[in-house]
A and B are shown apart, each in its own frame.
Chain A
Amino acid sequence: MDTVLHLINGGAGNLAAYLAAHVLLCLLPAFFIAGAMTALIPKASVTRWLGRNTPYRVSYPAAAAAGSLLAVCSCTIVPLFAGIYKKGAGLGPAITFLFFAPAGNVLALAYTGSILGPEFAFARFVLCLLFGIGIGLLMALLFWRDDASHDAATDTLFAEKGRVGPAATGVLLALVAVLIAGTLKVWPLTATVATATLPLPWAEGWQATLFRLVPFDAARGEEGVSVQGSLLIGLLFLIGLAAWKGLENIVEGANRWTWVALALVAATLLLAALRLTAGQAGLEVSITGRTLAVGIALGAVWHQARRLEGETWRAWLWESWRFVQQIFGLLIVGVFVVGIVRQLVQPEWIQALAGRNDLLANVVAVAFGVFMYFPTLVEVPVAHMFLDLGMHRGPLLAYLMADPELSLQSILMVAAVIGRPKTFTYVALVALFSVVAGLLYGAWVDGVHPGWIAAGLLAFMGALAAMLSWMLGRRTAPARA
């Protein structure tokens, strides 16, 4: 019985830490940005560069941009992947798009940055971009015959042109400003502007109760629930209720609950940007540079959103709400389960398997990524758990690259569109590239001279090119004879 209680406490503690102010300041705006990207960016504004006759140097970056801007959920990933492959720029850009989408979209980047650190999010972004294009080019080279057979198909799908309107651009920029103002840990934002103590004598007692309800071990990097955290969790609950009534049928028109939900979201962001400390005198409230910056950015969002047409902003709110429904619930369950699992895993196991940045550790990390399937974004708390347990950052990146790209579910989906031989090649390439990415990033974290890392990358590319030319040679040889 004690063990069960201990495990549940582990889950609850983890959940509390993930609902803390700094995570909400990142996740809430990220959901609205994801919704805005889906509803406000006309897909044709990017897909016009993905047609059959687009030159390579345009179609590959465009495929990466599509992965980053258009594809936040599988509703777009699968059809757009199949469309690029069969009716558009071909196999290579389709693969680049498929590879980059799970790592390059705003939700994944913002969440990785807030949980694992901005430099890690940056490494994930850059390596996924480089390797996404690399794997795309390799696939296009290996299966060039196949693309030739599609040339007869029409590409009217990609002929349409679209532009992002000025109001939509304004909303997107203002939302990004909210995200940046809420998450960046730099001076004007962290400075305290004014402090006031609210005479709330229950604050200190409530804090003590919270610490007793959700025990935590600071030595293991756990955070516990603060008074601020408990208020935020309460507000989230209220947002959920109001959104249920106000956003579920938003496409048909806004109602009173819609405005309540939006006001609650703004209040949550502002509260999360304050600094609250419970003490003997009561609740000490500090207004920081962050509070002001978030307030100004929210004002900008409001100002820009008023310029949108009615139908457009309703679609934006619907998409944002849909992402919350689709991802947030599973994320909460995932974080809770991760907290329980963490109590069961001994740090020694992880350290023995993946504590160093060597080939075995990276291969194990990638294999784990392929065989485990986690819902969208849950891979990030899982990675955080591994980091806490002593996993080296190199293999950790290898895992983070392989996991969202390769799961049994996505492999089956890809196979249905491009067939088995190509899928197996793709899976093998992703595994190979993930291992190499882990080794390179791990070496960089260990402080290896950048020259050596560049040399390693060149050697890998050289070996790959040699292997490729050998394979292509073998394949074309019988045709010549």
Chain B
Amino acid sequence: MKTVKILGSGCANCRKLEAVAREAATSAGIDAEFVKVTDMKAIMAYDLISTPGLVIEEKLVSSGRIPTQAEILQWMQA
């Protein structure tokens, strides 16, 4: 069970990122729990200067862009 956090205050890119990440997890059959973090203080606890941010198992793997499904899979399986 992986914990995946989507950091962002509900902008278009955050929704897109969540959709891509969910699809990646489903297609590879990975059991993942998705958490949306919208509170600015909680977001700023991670080192990022642009949302959306993607956090997998408490590690910030990408920010300010939407990674491809393949990239996300790599991070999830790492």
Q: Is A174 an interface residue (CB 8 A)?
A: no
- Please, could you name 10 A-B residue pairs with CB atoms under 8 Å apart, sorted by A? A43-B64, A74-B11, A75-B8, A75-B50, A76-B51, A79-B48, A82-B44, A83-B48, A83-B49, A157-B48
Interface residues on A, range: 20 to 34
Q: Is the CB of A73 within 8 A of B68?
A: no
Q: Which of A224-232, A318-326, A390-398 contacts B (4 or more CB under 8 A)?
A: A318-326
* Residues of chain A with a CB closer than 8 A to B20's CB: 251
Instruction: State in angstroms the CA–CA spacing of A43 and B66 once bound together.
Output: 15
Dominant SS at the B interface?
loop
- A315 with B8, Cβ < 8 A, contacts A47-B49, A80-B49 known: no
Q: Is B40 an interface residue (CB 8 A)?
A: yes
B12-55 CB contact bits vs A (8 Å, 1 = yes)?
11100000100000000000000000001101100111111000
Q: Looking at B8, B65, B67, which has the most chain A CB atoms within 10 Å of its CB?
A: B65
* Residues of chain B with a CB closer than 8 A to A43's CB: 49-50, 64
* Residues of chain A with a CB closer than 8 A to B12's CB: 322, 325-326
* Residues of chain A with a CB closer than 8 A to B48's CB: 79, 83, 157
Closest 9 CB pairs of A and B: A76-B50, A80-B49, A157-B47, A75-B51, A83-B49, A75-B11, A82-B44, A251-B66, A79-B49
Q: Is A176 an interface residue (CB 8 A)?
A: no
* Residues of chain B with a CB closer than 8 A to A254's CB: none
Instruction: State in angstroms the CA–CA spacing of A83 and B49 once bound together.
Output: 6
Q: Is A39 an interface residue (CB 8 A)?
A: yes
Q: Is A367 an interface residue (CB 8 A)?
A: no
Contacting A73 at CB < 8 Å: which of B11, B41, B43? B11
Interface residues of A (CB under 8 A from B): 39, 43, 47, 70, 73-76, 78-80, 82-83, 86-87, 156-157, 251-252, 311, 315, 318, 322, 325-326, 413, 416-417
Contacting B47 at CB < 8 Å: which of A75, A156, A326? A156
Nearest Cβ distance between residue A229 and chain B, in whole angstroms? Answer: 29
Give 19 A-B pairs besides A74-B9, A83-B48 with Cβ atoms closer than 8 angstroms: A39-B65, A75-B8, A75-B11, A75-B50, A75-B52, A76-B50, A78-B9, A78-B40, A79-B40, A79-B43, A79-B50, A86-B44, A87-B47, A251-B66, A251-B68, A252-B69, A315-B65, A416-B40, A416-B41
Contacting A75 at CB < 8 Å: which of B13, B41, B44, B67? B13
Q: Is the CB of B44 within 8 A of A79?
A: yes
Instruction: State in angstroms the CA–CA spacing of A75 and B43 once bound together.
Output: 12
Nearest Cβ distance between residue B21 and chain A, in whole angstroms? Answer: 12
Q: Which residue of B lies closest to A77 (CB)?
A: B50
Q: Is the CB of B40 within 8 A of A417?
A: yes
Q: Looking at B14, B43, B64, which has the most chain A CB atoms within 10 Å of its CB?
A: B64
Nearest Cβ distance between residue B54 and chain A, in whole angstroms? Answer: 13
* Residues of chain A with a CB closer than 8 A to B69's CB: 252
Instruction: State in angstroms the CA–CA spacing of A416 and B66 once bound together.
Output: 26
* Residues of chain B with a CB closer than 8 A to A416's CB: 40-41
Instruction: State in angstroms the CA–CA spacing of A73 and B50 once bound together.
Output: 10
Q: Which residue of B lies closest to A251 (CB)?
A: B66
Q: Which residue of A lies closest to B69 (CB)?
A: A252
Nearest Cβ distance between residue B67 and chain A, in whole angstroms? Answer: 8
Q: Is the CB of B49 within 8 A of A157?
A: yes
Instruction: State in angstroms the CA–CA spacing of A79 and B44 once bound together.
Output: 7
* Residues of chain B with a CB closer than 8 A to A70's CB: 50
Q: Is the CB of B50 within 8 A of A80?
A: yes
Nearest Cβ distance between residue B25 and chain A, in whole angstroms? Answer: 16
Instruction: State in angstroms the CA–CA spacing of A79 and B65 once bound together.
Output: 14
Nearest Cβ distance between residue A366 and chain B, in whole angstroms? Answer: 27
Nearest Cβ distance between residue B46 and chain A, in whole angstroms? Answer: 10
Instruction: State in angstroms the CA–CA spacing of A273 and B47 once bound together.
Output: 45
Q: Is the CB of B66 within 8 A of A76?
A: no
Nearest Cβ distance between residue A85 and chain B, in whole angstroms? Answer: 9
Instruction: State in angstroms the CA–CA spacing of A73 and B14 once bound together.
Output: 13
Q: Which residue of A lies closest to B43 (CB)?
A: A79
Nearest Cβ distance between residue B45 and chain A, in whole angstroms? Answer: 10
* Residues of chain A with a CB closer than 8 A to B66's CB: 251, 315, 318
Q: Is the CB of A76 within 8 A of B44?
A: no
* Residues of chain A with a CB closer than 8 A to B11's CB: 73-75
Q: Which residue of B lies closest to A85 (CB)?
A: B44
Nearest Cβ distance between residue B42 and chain A, in whole angstroms? Answer: 11
* Residues of chain B with a CB closer than 8 A to A325's CB: 12
* Residues of chain B with a CB closer than 8 A to A39's CB: 65
* Residues of chain A with a CB closer than 8 A to B14's CB: 75
Instruction: State in angstroms the CA–CA spacing of A86 and B48 once bound together.
Output: 12
Instruction: State in angstroms the CA–CA spacing of A311 and B65 once bound together.
Output: 11
* Residues of chain B with a CB closer than 8 A to A156's CB: 47
* Residues of chain B with a CB closer than 8 A to A86's CB: 44
* Residues of chain A with a CB closer than 8 A to B51's CB: 75-76, 78-79
